[in-house]
Amino acid sequence: MLNNNKKKQEYWRSQVEIIRSDSEHSSVYLADEALKIIEEFIEKQLYRNRTELLQTLSKLGNALVRAKPLMALIYARAHRLVEFIKSIPKEERDIFRIKQMALEEISRIKKETEENHRKITHFGARMILDHHVVLTHSSSSVVESILLEAKQMKKRFRLICTESRPRYEGLKLAKRMAQAGIKTKVIPDSDISRAIGEAHFILTGTDRITENSFINKTGTLALAIIAKEFDKPFYIAADTNKILLKRTYPVRFLSVNENEIVQNPHENLTVQNIYFEEIPLKYLHKIISEVSIFERDEFIERFL
């Protein structure tokens, strides 16, 4: 009976596995999907009291974080909800009322996320001027919003996108931007050093900011090093909820989906396909956040 009850409570494991295996979507999308799983779990009320809710919610939150450990938004939201439920006065014993309060907190998270996205988009679009050439790597939902808002503001600029192999999310972004009326050029990842001479600055998103680095698609570090050599500014756009320090949760990189590189490799051939990498903050010039546009050192002093 106990095992049956546990299975019933942990119905979400298959949903978490979908998050784990998703290599297509952005960190914001996957964080939103993770929040939907948490919201559905709280709605179902498969718990009898606050203690049971906290235990099962913590287990679900940990499973989601382990599924995508580099995506700080998932950690931030799961942790915030657990801490919120802990903060409800102990006199409140009505589990239905606690459930409603938790769902209201989820609604606040959604509204804050939308507002932060809107502010970052506004600040970022201000950075783009007429005749600018912007270079980006991979595909970030907030960078895409910035580019579209700048276009809506009638700014005349051009965009350079890397293909972003092996999943070609940069190529997909380039096609969407071209369809939106933005003059766009797509280049192989290996042609960054030639293209960077055209660019006024580099703009990417990030999945996570740590004490001394940010995490983004593999290839970003090479781009940052070349940008420094060419004296081109490097900016990232990020919600401050993406700050997740290494001492709070470690950074690990794993090789996945090796068949995207080589199918049926020879026994003497090792294939490595690591999607993300760590880029030292020293390569950054500015961080575009929901609070403001910060110089790198100013951001570090205020948030890190």
What's the confidence (pLDDT) of residue 9?
72
Note the residue count of the chain: 304
Task: Determine the Cα–Cα distance for residues 150 and 156; give it in Å rounded to an integer.
Answer: 8
What's the confidence (pLDDT) of residue 12?
96
Domain ranges of the chain: 2-116, 120-303
Phi, then psi, of 110 in degrees rounded to 5: -60, -45
If one counts every other C-beta atom within 10 angstroms of the C-beta of residue 204, the result is 24
Residues 6+ apart with CB under 8 A from 7: none
Give the N- to C-terminal CA distance of the chain in Å, as an integer. 48
Give the C-alpha distances (Å, rounded to integers) separating 98 from 95, 213, 249, 267: 5, 38, 28, 56
Q: Over pLDDT 70: what percentage of the chain?
A: 98
Pairing of strands 201-204, 133-136: parallel
**Which residues of the chain fall short of a pLDDT of 50?**
1-2
Q: On the CB side of 246, how many CA atoms lie within 13 Å of its CA?
A: 9
Task: Determine the Cα–Cα distance for residues 278 and 282; give it in Å rounded to an integer.
Answer: 12
Closest CA to 290 of 123, 79, 78, 55: 123
What architecture does CATH give domain 2-116? Up-down Bundle (1.20)
DSSP code string of 202-248: EEE--SEE-SSEEEEETTHHHHHHHHHHTT--EEEE--GGGB--TTT
Cβ(141)–Cβ(26) under 8 Å?
A: yes
Phi, then psi, of 78 in degrees rounded to 5: -65, -45
DSSP code string of the chain: -HHHHHHHHTTTHHHHHHHHH--SS-HHHHHHHHHHHHHHHHHHT--SSHHHHHHHHHHHHHHHHHHSTT-HHHHHHHHHHHHHHHHS-TT---HHHHHHHHHHHHHHHHHHHHHHHHHHHHHHHHH--TT-EEEE-S--HHHHHHHHHHHHTT---EEEEE--TTTTHHHHHHHHHHHTT-EEEEE-GGGHHHHTTT-SEEEE--SEE-SSEEEEETTHHHHHHHHHHTT--EEEE--GGGB--TTTS--------GGGT-SS--TT-------EEEEEGGG-SEEE-SS-EEEHHHHHHHH-
Task: Determine the Cα–Cα distance for residues 98 and 120; give it in Å rounded to an integer.
Answer: 33
CATH of span 120-303: 3.40.50.10470
Task: Determine the Cα–Cα distance for residues 136 and 223; give it in Å rounded to an integer.
Answer: 9
